[in-house]
Amino acid sequence: MKISKMQELLDADVLCCEENLGKHVYSAFGCDLMSDVLAYVTDQAVLLTGLVNPQVIRTALMMDMTCIIFVRTKKPNDEMIQLAKEHGIVMMSTAMTLYTACGTLYSNGLIGTKEVGK
Amino acid sequence: MSDNLVFRFDVQGNDFTSAGQASVQVKKNLRQLGLDADTIRRVSIAMYEGEINMVIHAGGGVAEVIVSEDYIEIILEDRGPGIKDIDQAMQAGYSTATETIRSLGFGAGMGLPNMKKNTDSMEITSTIDVGTRIVMRVML
Ligand SMILES: Nc1ncnc2c1ncn2[C@@H]1O[C@H](COP(=O)(O)OP(=O)(O)O)[C@@H](O)[C@H]1O
Ligand SMILES: [Mg+2]
């Protein structure tokens, strides 16, 4: 799914790296636990989260994720935006809850990150 | 070998804001060396988990990454409290992290097993009240 399509579906504000809205993501992972992101994401997925701190961006960076979507209108600070910019990671913010945002993307065809053991 | 590349970082303890900076820098350096994405990702995950552990469990330490012709070695050394029972610490889900750490997105007890999973070898030496040294290798 194109990142710009996700932005439309979630009615999200783009916080940085608009120039990468044309990129595609192939799966998604939603959670507030960065340990789980580091342990379970196996492909270059989009991260949906309600957690806002620099480790969210560093975690996404470690996992080669190209897009982070913050739910419940949460917004990262300038320092975090700077870090994401430096690495071309698109960040967006949506008013939806984690459940609704994930459900919206899923029902529009974006699958979850490959489940372990499958 | 004389032409090994060595990157060395001081990892600040109890400064959660900067936790992970060394790993971000290592990732940049490895990308510049043109290593393949999968190798870089494995090194990144292992080092990031280890770096976060030094910050949250050991009050900081020193991280060293050695790039040789055949492997990448990550050495993490701290003067923290040490690990009493390494086998137990290696179990998925085992964690002594505080509620505060959990609210920051870590402390699920997945770090050490994830470090092992992403590397070809991992050795932990730890002495109570002296510190912990972890050496991991990813073969090239
Ligand atoms: N560098 C360290 N110094 C002291 N204890 C450590 C260190 N790294 C890990 N530990 C211990 O091992 C446990 C498991 O580590 P880990 O699997 O990374 O889980 P987590 O960090 O989520 O607690 C930690 O909760 C801690 O008790
Ligand atoms: Mg850990």
What pLDDT, in 10s, does the model give residues B112-121? Answer: 999 999 999 9
The closest-lying atom of ligand 1 relative to the alpha carbon of residue B111 is: 18
Domain architecture of chain B: domains with CATH: 5-139 (3.30.565.10)
Shortest-distance ligand to the CA of residue B105: 1
Pick from B48, B108, B114: CB nearest A58: B48
Residue A117 lies in a domain: no
Question: For residue B45, what are its two tokens?
Answer: 């995950």
Q: Kindly provide the ipTM of the predicted complex, given to two decimals.
A: 0.94
Helices (H) and strands (E) in chain A, counts: 5, 5
Residue A114 lies in a domain: no
Beta-sheet strand order (sheet of A13-16): A13-16, A90-93, A67-70, A46-49, A28-30
Residues 62-101, chain B: which have Cβ within 8 Å of A?
none
Q: Is the Cα torsion angle A92, A93, A98, A102 positive or negative in sign?
A: negative
Distance CA B53, CA B97 (A): 10
Residue A43 lies in a domain: yes
Pick from A33, A55, A61: CB nearest B27: A61
Range of the domain at A82: 3-108
Instruction: Report residue A116's pLDDT band, with 50, 70 and 90 as the boundaries.
Output: low
The residues with which B27 forms a beta bridge, in sequence order, are none
* 3-class state of residue A91 by DSSP: strand
Q: Is B59 in the pocket of ligand 1 (CB under 6 A)?
A: no
| A79 φ, ψ (degrees, to nearest 5) | -60, -40
* 3-class state of residue A58 by DSSP: helix
Residue A91 lies in a domain: yes
**pTM score, whole prediction:** 0.95
Q: pLDDT tens, B45-61?
A: 999 999 999 999 999 99
Q: What is the CATH number of the domain that holds A72?
A: 3.40.1390.20
Residue A36 lies in a domain: yes
Shortest-distance ligand to the CA of residue B96: 1
Residue A118 lies in a domain: no
Q: Is the Cα torsion angle A62, A65, A70, A71 positive or negative in sign?
A: negative
* 3-class state of residue B51 by DSSP: helix
Residue A47 lies in a domain: yes
Instruction: Report residue B129's pLDDT band, with 50, 70 and 90 as the boundaries.
Output: very high
A115 and A96 Cβ atoms separated by less than 8 Å: no
A70 and A50 Cβ atoms separated by less than 8 Å: yes
Distance CA A44, CA A66 (A): 7
Instruction: Report residue A118's pLDDT band, with 50, 70 and 90 as the boundaries.
Output: very low
The closest-lying atom of ligand 1 relative to the alpha carbon of residue B92 is: 17
> How far, in Å, from the CA of A90 to the mean position of ligand 1?
32
More confident residue, B3 or B108: B108
Is the CB of B110 less than 8 angstroms away from the CB of A35?
yes
Distance CA B103, CA A54 (A): 13
Spatial CB neighbours of B92, under 8 Å, sequence gap ≥ 6: B109, B110, B113
